[in-house]
Amino acid sequence: MSREEDRTTRYQEGSLTLPGTVMLGTGVMIGAGIFALTGQMAQMTGVLFPLAFLAAAVIVSFSAYSYIKISNAYPSAGGIGMYLHKAYGNRLPTAFNALLMYFSMVIAQSFLARTFGSYTMQLFGGDDSGRMVPVLGVALILTAFLINLLGNRMIQGVASFIGILKIGGILIFGLVGVWIADSISVDFSQPGEAGTIGNFLGATALGILAFKGFTTITNSGSEVIDPKRNVGRAIVISIAACVLIYTLVGFAVASNLSLAEIIETQDYSLAAAARPALGEYGVWFTVAIAMMATAGGILASVFAVSRMLAMLTEMKLVPHRHFGMPGSIQKHTLVYTVVLGLILTAFFDLSRIAALGIIFYLIMDIAIHWGVLRYLRDDIKAKAWVPSLAIILDLLALGGFLWVKLNTDPFVIGVAVITMIVIAVSEQVFLKWSPESAQAYQGDSHEHHH
């Protein structure tokens, strides 16, 4: 009996308010996007990087349509895992794409953790040894793990408090940075070689990484008060807030640093931009905001991704072992998520972490839209042209990003391809040989007309 209870997830319906859900979403979005991606995007597309943020917002706005439609019809704490299951059933496409989303979210945690370390070390003159950034990142993930053990209300309370402080702080940074800059005009007329269409699309793909945190909201589905109304509302509010903030901060950075300076300080470009604008006090202020933003982002991401993995386990789509651990299955998936995040934080740098995250996310995103078009459109009353356009835009961004990385860092493309092959083969073997999964697979194939 106790073992059976141990295998059961325990969701708290109605435990997340609309403001709390928005804070969870913006927590992941703002934490990842503004603080570390600005410099990488500038390196990829030159002075056009503020426009790449706006292009990413357009793509994400079309993408959000499918998620809102599915979440209105099927609110679930499993979020994307359940959405894929509704479209593809207990089959390889569901398991493969859900695991891509899982890994992209774990990658986002590591991205946030290293960003936290990069900014924190600016208080001490930087990290010449290269050792303190991963150490601080690991410490932050462990702290987020302990807070997640305390339950939803503690997570919501901490995330909301951090969210209010960081959004207010970032708005102050952006407004003051633009106000005291000599000029807020950015010369778009001479983007140089970095301004080619392929580079711009690649930077746009990175920008999507700054917005994809809205999917965190879908993973909180059935735990949100009145989910059929509030999940969609929370997604729209989160994206709109981030468009405003990213645009403001992008122009503030571009107005206070040269392109060469933005690229040179790409891991902590906001802190660097604060120095000419506001002096050392501005740097300390920006670092404090960055520390809060990344900490809140990890807290929200760990909360959501562990629930998605728990849902996949319940659906018998991934293997699960207790390893002698007590507690619910959610506690176990929380541990697995944190351990994987710690490994990535310790051994991968920021640019490669971001590259893996965006490749996995865009492939999964295309699968979601195709699932809506092919299997769910009538059930959720979706218009066909919106997910169709979302697929085209995703393919453009992914193609541009792959083109840039093949020319600059083909190793990371190789890692992504090998990882996806391993996931696909492992899942195919598991679905075929696991008795429970095989039974679900066969029963489901009769129900779904694939």
pLDDT reported for residue 41: 87
**pLDDT range class, residue 4, cuts 50, 70, 90:** very low
Residue 445 has pLDDT above 60, yes or no: no
125 torsion bin: left (phi>0), alpha (psi -120 to 50), beta (else): left
What sign for the dihedral angle of Cα 117, 119, 123, 129? positive
CATH of domain 18-442: 1.20.1740.10
Q: Using CA atoms, how far apart are residues 196 and 44, in angstroms rounded to an integer?
A: 10
Q: Between these two residues, 115 and 223, which has the higher pLDDT value? A: 115
Q: Is the distance from CB of 242 to CB of 30 less than 8 angstroms?
A: yes
- CA 245/CA 174 separation, integer angstroms: 8
Q: Return d(Cα 204, Cα 192) in angstroms, integer.
A: 17
When pLDDT is averaged across residues 401-407 and rounded to a whole number, the result is 93
Burial class of 266 by CB neighbour count within 10 A (0 to 12, 13 to 18, 19+): buried
State the average pLDDT over residues 10-31: 71
CA 374 to chain CA centroid, nearest Å: 26
**pLDDT reported for residue 274:** 82
pLDDT at 76: 67
Phi, psi for residue 16 in degrees, rounded to 5: -120, 125
**Exposure string over 388-427, b if 16+ CB within 10 A, otherwise e:** eebbebbebbbebbbbbbeeeeeebbebbeebbeebbeeb
Residue-wise pLDDT for 136-173, tens only, equals 999 988 888 887 777 656 666 676 677 778 778 888 88
Tokens of 438: 């095989």
Task: Determine the pLDDT at residue 193.
Answer: 52
Helix (H, G, I), strand (E, B) or coil at 316: coil
Residues 221 and 311: their CA atoms lie apart, in Å, by: 12
In sequence order, the 6+-apart residues with CB closer than 8 A to the CB of 106 are 305, 337, 340, 341, 344
Q: What percent of the chain has pLDDT over 70?
A: 82
Report whether pLDDT(14) > 80: no
Instruction: Give the model confidence (pLDDT) of 385-401 as tens digits.
Output: 999 999 999 999 999 99
Task: Give the tens place of pLDDT for each residue, 168-210.
Answer: 888 888 888 778 765 555 555 555 455 588 899 999 999 998 8
pLDDT digits (tens, 9 = 90+) for 72-104: 888 765 567 788 988 998 889 999 999 998 888
- The residue-averaged pLDDT of 265-276 equals 80
Q: How far, in Å, are 46, 244, 303 from residue 149 at the CA level?
A: 43, 33, 9
pLDDT at position 227:
78
> For residues 35 and 291, what is the distance between their CA atoms, to the nearest angstrom?
10
Q: Is 117 within 8 Å of 136 (Cβ atoms)?
A: yes
Question: Of 300 and 5, which is predicted with more confidence?
Answer: 300
Q: Return all residues near 45 (Cβ < 8 A) that are at least 6 apart.
A: 52, 191, 194, 195, 199, 200, 202, 203
Q: Which of 228, 252, 106 is nearest to 178 (CA)?
A: 252
CA separation, residue 355 to residues 233, 310, 337, 406 (Å)? 30, 26, 19, 11
Q: Which two tokens stand for residue 115?
A: 């960003």
Q: What is this structure's pTM?
A: 0.83
Contact 188, 254 (CB under 8 A): no
pLDDT value at residue 369: 97
Q: What is the mean pLDDT of the chain?
A: 80
Region of poorest pLDDT, from 53-57, 105-109, 220-224, 323-327: 323-327
Rounded Cα–Cα distance for residues 352 and 338 (Å): 19
d(CA 121, CA 310): 35
pLDDT at 313 over 50: yes
Helices 18-45/49-73 angle, 10° precision: 150
Question: What CA–CA distance (Å, rounded) separates 64 from 242?
Answer: 14
Q: Which residue has the higher pLDDT, 400 or 40?
A: 400
Q: Among residues 441, 437, 415, which one has the least CA distance to residue 103?
A: 415
Other Cβ atoms closer than 10 A to 360: 24
CA-closest candidate to residue 129, choices 121, 138, 120:
121
Which pLDDT value is given to residue 203? 92
Domain coordinates in residue numbering, the chain:
18-442
Q: Distance (Å, rounded) from C-alpha 205 to C-alpha 191?
A: 18
**Average confidence (pLDDT) over 108-119:** 85
Cα 191–chain centre separation: 29
pLDDT of residue 152: 59
Among the listed residues 22, 24, 34, the one whose alpha carbon sits nearest the alpha carbon of residue 247: 34
Q: According to the model, what pLDDT value does residue 31 have?
A: 62
